[in-house]
């Protein structure tokens, strides 16, 4: 059984971000999504440990891809 498309896309984006000195963080929250945690993704500056986008884990993988390619 192969990897899902979502997992492949996430891994690809992680590699691309890492090459730019950024990290992709995924919310660990599965249930009880609230105003402070939307259950998506966050982009962080690796060396400074600073949030670049998605401070409340509101990014989708498509949002991350748009950030990288625009």
Number of domains in the chain: 1
Q: Which long-range contacts (CB under 8 A, 24 or more apart) does 50-53 make?
A: 52/22
> Given pLDDT bands bounded at 50, 70 and 90, which one contains residue 32?
low
Q: Which pTM was predicted?
A: 0.85
6 phi and psi angles, rounded to 5 deg: -65, -45
pLDDT tens digits, one per residue of 34-69: 667 788 999 999 999 999 999 999 999 999 999 999
Q: Determine the Cα–Cα distance for residues 32 and 48; give it in Å rounded to an integer.
A: 30
- Asked whether the beta carbons of 10 and 27 are under 8 A apart, the reply is no
Domain that holds residue 46: 5-69
């Amino acid at each position: 059984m192969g990897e899902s498309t979502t997992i492949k896309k996430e891994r690809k984006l992680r590699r691309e971000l890492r090459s730019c000195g950024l990290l992709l963080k995924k919310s660990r929250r599965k249930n009880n999504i609230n105003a402070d945690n939307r259950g998506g993704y966050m982009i962080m500056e690796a060396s400074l440990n600073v949030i670049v986008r998605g401070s409340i884990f509101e990014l989708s993988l498509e949002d991350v891809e748009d950030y990288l390619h625009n």
